[in-house]
Amino acid sequence: MIDPKLQAVVFDLDGTLADTAADIREALARALATEDLPPIDLASVRLMIGGGPRLLVERALDRLGLADDGDRVARLTDLFHSEYITQHNRLSRLFTGAVEGLQRMKSAGLKLGICSNKPDDLCRLLVDSFDLHDKVDVVLGSGAGLPRKPDPAPLLHVIERLGATPETTLYVGDSETDVKVARAADVRVALVSYGYTLRPASQLGADGVVDSIIELAPPLAKSA
């Protein structure tokens, strides 16, 4: 599915390369518990992921029927961040086909990047946990002085750092936000079918939908 003219592929992280929902739920539950609030079930948390920690907390409080209190949101967002670090991605995993797909793309000479609304330090922690340094050239999360997706600025920044252009880049995500950021950046977009989204990926207007990252990768060279 990779266009021969492509020079770079940029990925979303949560719900695209990595299944992180269980760790996010645990960190959120511990943060909520500091105010005697009940945990949110995993299925609901999966649908709250994608806009960064503050939006996650706002969605959780809304799920619990609580008013949007700015001070409480800020406090719980900070707590969630610190609790997530202590999780150290113990319950997270890379989706099937992600590692082999990245390896094939890298071997084919493509530049690879990550552009996520997950805080930058947490993105890098995940890259460390799964030893992706030799596969991913640029990692950019939120909090790096740029607006969050679907604003195109972070995606365009990653593309520039990869030495590519929007015309020679494919963006891969799992949600409507990912389609919106790709369209705003004038970049082609593919979605995975298994991500964190309420509506099926096939209904979100991407250029293509795959069941595994490996479907996007060039085939292995045949031996003579």
Catalytic residues: 12
d(CA 110, CA 112): 6
Question: How many residues are present in the chain?
Answer: 224
**Does residue 13 contact residue 116 with C-beta atoms inside 8 Å?**
yes
Both tokens of 124, joined, read 């890098």
d(CA 121, CA 181): 21
For 166, phi then psi, to 5°, come to: -55, -35
d(CA 84, CA 126): 11
CA 137 to chain centre: 16
Q: What is the DSSP letter of 14?
A: B
